Chains A and B, each alone.
Chain A
Amino acid sequence: MQTQKAMNTFVKETGGWVASQLEACTRCGMCAEACHFYQATGVPEYAPVWKVELLRRAYEQRFTVSGKVKLAIGIDSEISDEDLLNWSSYVYHACTVCNKCSMVCPMGIDLGTLIHDVRSGLAEAGVVPADLAAAVQKQIEEGSPLGMTDEVYADRLEWVTDDWEVDIPIDKEGAETLVVLSSIEVMKFPQNIAAVAEVLNAAGENWTLSTKAREVVNFGFYEGSHSHTTLFLKRILDQAMAMGVKRLVVTECGHAYDALRWTAYNLMEIPDSLEITHITGLLGEYVSSGRIKLKAGAFNEGKITFHDACKIQRKGGHINEPRQILNILSPDAFVEMTPNREEAICCGGGGGVIAIKDADPIRYAAFELKIDQVKKTGADTVVMSCSNCRLQFTDGKEHFNLDWKINGLTQMVADALAD
């Protein structure tokens, strides 16, 4: 293990942005109030403030006099290999980087990003959980962490085209909009692909999929490694730029949107002419402008609630679009969870957690909080616009024997398209 590499990353990443926020923390522990993993397990080490502790120690030891003094008199100790292993289990197993903690922090510290920085250091030191590391490796080699090779991709698309009788343009020249799917959709929710195609076709969009930019999922971003994140982002963005599209649409995948929409710009040059957006935003735009017409009240049976995903709603800002759509589709059935919108509680599966087998017990524990929340609304259907959340819900539904219906927003829109 290479502690030095982790330290180098921490030191390198610590600019005024990080330092001022670390200086602001008073260790009041309020952030734990927002953390579903802490709340579900009661393990103090899972508190967001403690997840950042490693970064804080590195900062103090290297950048401040008091940290050096603490080190000298033995109040603090050098960061050890053991520390890295421990923090690996805190920041990868027990954090979805949902950033709800930053909303609770009385100082407003952007904890999610700081935890991402901790991940970066651990990734450089190679202290990434084996399952996650393997998935990253797979994505480097095969282009997708879920085994979606070129052949599989082509097969699945062909199958979807046939089965759902939908027109899916691939590598279409002169297309204005490039849609990049996530392998979760391709492998687990193929109906979503059909739904995306139906909606875009209905809107008369000049769009296409690409055989090169075929995987929007970015396990390097989960891992926190800059080089891997950049590598996977480039696969998409280089192709988009080569094709000269005006718009890049991320389908129902949360962290990929976070990486592309907010992080990519700071890792590489992206021309102003390329707009990056999420399918949720696009749906809202279509509905508002009337490019697609929906059957009002198409899903007005029972009770339907909407799960706000951390990366698409809280961190992506697409909070109103789903509500706008659900108020048309399910005017009576739609009920809100509490808390919701930007204050929503995370599903517990994001941030790569669902890919780590060892994290299953706490992932399920965290999901129980979500179950409570949904049960309070009395809803029988939970809708979301993130495939990762959907994976967690589907898995959780099975694990806890719930009789819910889990649906995707795009799919609902596709099903309710007026002819």
Chain B
Amino acid sequence: MSEETIYQRLEKNGVSRRDFLKLCGTLVGAMGLTVPPLESSGLPGHLLTEDQTIRKVAQALESKARIPVIWLEFQDCAGCSEALTRSQSPTLIDLVLNTISVEYHETLTAAAGHQTEENKQSIMKQYAGQYVLVVEGSIPMALGGAYCTIGGRSAIDILEEAAAGAAAIISTGNCAAFGGLPKANPNPTDAKGVWELITDKPVVNIPGCPAIPEVFTGTLAHFVIFGALPELDDLNRPVTFYGKTIHDRCLRRPFYEAGKFANTFDDEGAKQGWCLYKLGCKGPTTHNACATIKWDAGLSFPVQSGHPCLGCSEPDFWDGGGFYQGQSAPLNRPAATAVGAAIGAGAVVGAAMAANNSAQKKRAAQASEE
């Protein structure tokens, strides 16, 4: 690994100057540096005219050495990686996987076993304080971390080791960010998100189930290009992508305002594309870029395709109320026995009070007769 810049490496791979600038445009779009920010992330053509920012990005790529990435997986389903590889923005993903160089990724790396582990160790040494650590999956803390071990070492052990030399950590997917599915009630493994465990390094959360590939790469590219993390919200999510809710940008929003709702998945409202709020849409509280970036190269996203938002980019979304239950409804209804007990208790105390008061009435009646 030399001091070769990213541009030089691309050039070697046969990328023309024109394609390079296109790529820069894509990146600008992906990072939300232009307005409108992300609509055309896969379609760079017109972005070439946004020359100021693009030129800056191009300059950065021309001058910066590539940054290695170490990608760890813990309690995960590899869905975020899967989403990334299946993304329809090939140049961009190419950039991340090949050019920026993912040095360690259990699922994607061709090598396996001790060989890869050794490679990881050498990278961590060589690039100490420079590499970016990406984490996918939650970390189980119960039983000393025994629920997830790799090569005999616990997840938390591996994470702490890798985090020590990282310049920044990116938690991709809800599991790594907030504990995700493994953390769902009753959370048997005591699953935790990375930022709860690593507090001495900058941690960016890219929640989602899976994380939107463009959001992940955009954030990573931002760090690579500018050497700094983008602006984050109070849950350490990049504001660019998580500043608005699904509801804010939803194409069905006008129907919500007009009070036109689909009541079932196959009624007239559903066919007309009306709001899915009554079918359990969590759009109003879900901060993510689905409604703008969408999936499959901007083809669609859940709400557009007729399914309510599950709220997968929010902490504890799995316990945030039934997926098909309106969001305003309480999380769960009190058990009939509890209600009965409350009424019974109230009635008994009330009856006792009434008996006491009736006795008082009797005494008063006697007193006034004397």
- A residues sitting closer than 8 Å to B (CB atoms) are 4-5, 7-9, 11-12, 14-15, 62-63, 65, 124
Alpha-carbon gap, A5 to B370, bound state (A)? 10
- Chain A hits for B365, CB < 8 A: 8, 12
Once the chains bind, are B361 and A14 in contact (CB under 8 Å)? yes
In the bound complex, CA of A65 to CA of B352 (Å):
12
Bound-state Cα–Cα, A74 to B259, Å: 50
Q: How far is the CB of B367 from chain A (nearest CB, A)?
A: 5
Best-buried of B357, B365, B367, B368 by chain A (most CB within 10 Å): B368
For B358, give the chain A residue with the smallest CB separation: A15
Q: CB-CB < 8 A to B361: which residues of A?
A: 11-12, 14-15
* Min C-beta distance of B143 to chain A, whole Å: 50
B residues sitting closer than 8 Å to A (CB atoms) are: 353, 357, 360-361, 364-365, 367-368
Given A4-B367, A63-B357, 16 other A-B contacts at CB below 8 A?
Answer: A5-B368, A7-B364, A8-B365, A8-B367, A8-B368, A9-B364, A9-B368, A11-B364, A12-B361, A12-B364, A12-B365, A12-B368, A14-B361, A15-B361, A62-B357, A63-B360
Question: Helix, strand, loop or mixed for chain B's interface?
Answer: helix
Q: Could you give 8 example pairs across A and B, Cβ below 8 Å?
A: A5-B368, A7-B364, A9-B368, A12-B364, A14-B361, A62-B360, A63-B353, A124-B368
Closest chain B residue, CB of each to CB of A65: B353
User: For residue A62, which residue of chain B has the nearest CB?
Assistant: B360
Whole-angstrom CA separation of A62 from B354 in the bound complex: 11
Q: Find chain B residues with CB under 8 A from A11 CB.
A: 360-361, 364
**Residues of B contacting A15 in the complex (Cβ-Cβ under 8 angstroms):** 361
Task: Give chain A residues whose Cβ lies under 8 Å from the Cβ of B353.
Answer: 63, 65
How far, in whole Å, are A15 and B361 apart by their CA atoms in the complex? Answer: 9
Which residue of chain A has its CB nearest to the CB of B357? Answer: A63
Name the residue of chain B whose CB is nearest to the CB of A10: B364
Instruction: For the complex, give the distance between the alpha carbons of A5 and B368 in Å.
Output: 7
Q: Which chain B positions have C-beta within 8 A of A12? A: 361, 364-365, 368
The interface residues of chain A lying within 8 Å CB-to-CB of B364 are 7-9, 11-12
Residues in A whose Cβ lies below 8 Å from that of B368: 5, 8-9, 12, 124
How far, in angstroms, from A292 to B364 measured CA to CA in the complex?
53
Q: Would you give the shortest CB distance from A342 to chain B, in whole angstroms?
A: 33
Report the nearest A residue to B349, measured CB to CB.
A65
Contacts of B360 in A (CB 8 A): 11, 62-63
Q: Closest approach, in angstroms, between the C-beta of B355 and any C-beta of chain A?
A: 12
* CA of A70 to CA of B82, assembled, Å: 66
CA distance A62 to B353 in the complex (A): 11
Distance (Å) between the CB of B328 and the closest chain A CB? 28
Docked complex Cα distance between A11 and B357 (Å): 9
Q: Smallest Cβ distance from B366 to chain A, in angstroms?
A: 9
CA distance A11 to B364 in the complex (A): 6
Determine the chain B residues whose CB is within 8 A of the CB of A63 once the complex forms: 353, 357, 360
CA distance in complex: A7, B364 (Å): 8
Complex CA–CA separation, A7 to B363 (angstroms): 12
Q: B223 CB to closest chain A CB, in angstroms?
A: 60
Q: In the docked arrangement, what's the CA distance between A63 and B368, Å?
A: 18
